[in-house]
Amino acid sequence: MIRLMLRARPPTRLSFRGLIPERLAGLSADSIARQALRQGNRVGVIGDCFSVDLAGGAEDRLVISGAGDCLDDVGAEMSRGELVVEGDAGARVGLEMSGGRIVIEGSVGFGAGMAMRGGELRIRGNAGDDVGGALPGEREGMRNGMLVVEGSAGAGVGDRMRLGLIVVRGSVGAFCGARMSAGTIIVGGGIGEGAGAAMRRGTVIAPRGNLRTLPGFADSGAHDLTVLRLLGRALAVHGLSEVASGFFDLRRWQGDVAVGGKGEIWTPP
């Protein structure tokens, strides 16, 4: 296991892009300390800010502690291994990750799981805007994988989402599931205005959300469907059974009819 401990809060933001378990595994502590680390608008090395400690256990496990919200791009492009942040992290956690597991013990900033392609990203605290969203200019956001926010999330959760699962235990902001073309978003708490705007396909489930659906959504009645049971059991496997506890007799809204109407939002009956 590799442990990076922040010595002192840096004056600039740090980008951890490229510093992922699979690239650091097998390197010595000195070698890791000499890896490039972008600090604001200049490039330094990890050793400038962090002490490096190699402990026993899996060598593709990276633990970062004491970093705080100034650490951006944690786990970006990660494809295997495990990365744990003992505290908060900054923007774009898990950017374009395709495999492995990232756990953030605290909260994160903007763009968590942006353009994510696989693996598991779990955030114990809250997340900012654009969870599972798309890179600027891209047509598709999150393309696969599982993203769990145990607190609440900001606006634009799952914007342009293409596939995968996003679970937010708490509330989400406006435009959740907007422009999504497939995938599943589950919201345990309240859900903001404009959910599902211009969604073509995909599923948003908000069993406790008091949602005023957009005019582009048609009421298809309250149902108890097998697919929700199946989803509930899958969530239970991942320790999220309480999120699925309300998956019965939900009301199905089909939309957005302005763009084909094959998406769906499930709300309380």
**Residues that bind another protein in the complex, under the rule CB under 8 A:** 163-165, 182-184, 201, 203, 223-227, 229-234, 237, 262, 264
Structure tokens at 221: 């009645």
Q: How far is the CB of 263 from another protein (least distance, A)?
A: 9
For another protein, the closer CB: 164 or 194: 164
Q: Which is nearer to another protein, 139 or 229 (CB)?
A: 229
Within 8 A by CB and 6+ apart from 136, the residues are none
Compute the residue count for the chain. 269
Q: How far is the CB of 164 from another protein (least distance, A)?
A: 8
Sign of torsion over alpha carbons 138, 201, 116, 128:
positive
Of the pair 192, 202, the CB lying nearest another protein is at 202
Q: How far is the CB of 74 from another protein (least distance, A)?
A: 25
Q: CB 7 → another protein: shortest distance, Å?
A: 41
Minimum CB distance to another protein, residue 209 (Å): 20
Specify the residue, 48 or 219, whose C-beta has the smaller distance to another protein.
Answer: 219
Output b/e per residue, 163-194; b: 16+ Cβ within 10 A: bbbbbbbbbbbbbbbbbbbbbbbbbbbebbeb
Closest CB to another protein among 2 and 198? 198
Radius of gyration of the chain from its Cα atoms, rounded to whole angstroms: 19
- The least CB distance from residue 223 to another protein, in Å, is 6
Q: Where are the beta strands (DSSP E) in the chain?
A: 2-6, 14-15, 36-39, 42-45, 50-54, 61-65, 71-72, 82-86, 101-104, 120-123, 146-149, 165-168, 184-187, 203-205, 218-223, 250-255, 263-267
Which lies closer to another protein via its Cβ, residue 48 or residue 224?
224
